[in-house]
Structure 1
Amino acid sequence: MADAFLYNTSGLESPASNAAAITPSDSVDLANVPRALYALTDGTVRVTMRGGGSPVTVQMIAGVPLPFRVTRVWATGTTATGIVGVW
């Protein structure tokens, strides 16, 4: 498959090249820090930001990207389902 952008440098504003389903966990950090999160259902998501600090809980709307770089999506406090991280 040809990729016209193969030799272009990817930035944070570039389209994602990878995606993975995220299983919220109160004890395990993500394998990759995503550039955004998506969810299949509306709900809350409790996350630890890449920069550190205390976890925060934010509202997610199904199909709308949440442009947060996070190291963990917590099970406690997360009601959104079908969460996917892209990077």
Structure 2
Amino acid sequence: MKDPFHYEGDKRWSPASRCFVIAPNDAAELPFVTKGIRADGDGVIKFRPVGQEDDVSHPVLAGEIIPVRATHVRATGTSGQTTIIGYA
């Protein structure tokens, strides 16, 4: 399939080229740094933004996308969702 944006490269502001299910984990890094995280239910997602030493607890509504470059999504402190999707 031809990609008209092939020569543009992947930039921070480009749409995601990878989507993956996130299994919250207190230790493991995500397979890719995200551009966004989407929750399928109301609750809280606890994540670590790129370049920060501290985690952030972010309340979310079902379907909301958090535009964040995150390296981790923690199990402890994340609640209310059944599926979390990462966009990278």
- Tell me if both proteins adopt one fold, taking TM over 0.5 as the criterion: yes
The one-letter code of the counterpart of 2:20 is A
Q: Provide Cα deviations, 1:9-43, integer angstroms capped at 9, x if missing partner.
A: 33222111111100001121112111110111111
Tell me what 1:66 maps to: 66
Coordinate RMSD, CA, aligned: 1.2
The equivalent of 1:2 in structure 2 is 2
1:22 aligns with 22
Whose strand proportion is higher, 1 or 2? Answer: 2
Q: Percent identity?
A: 36
Matched residue, 1:86: 87
SS at 2:86's partner residue? strand
What does the per-residue CA deviation read over 1:39-85, in whole Å, with 9 as the maximum and x for residues that have no partner?
Answer: 11111001111112221101112222101111110101101331111
Any stretches of 5+ residues in structure 1 without a counterpart? none
Alignment of 1:14-53 (within 5 A): 14-53=14-53
Point out 4+ residue stretches in structure 1 off by more than 3 angstroms.
Answer: none
Give the TM-score normalised by the residue count of structure 2: 0.88
Q: Secondary structure at the match of 1:12?
A: coil
Gap regions ≥5 residues in structure 2:
none
SS of the residue corresponding to residue 7 of structure 2 reads coil
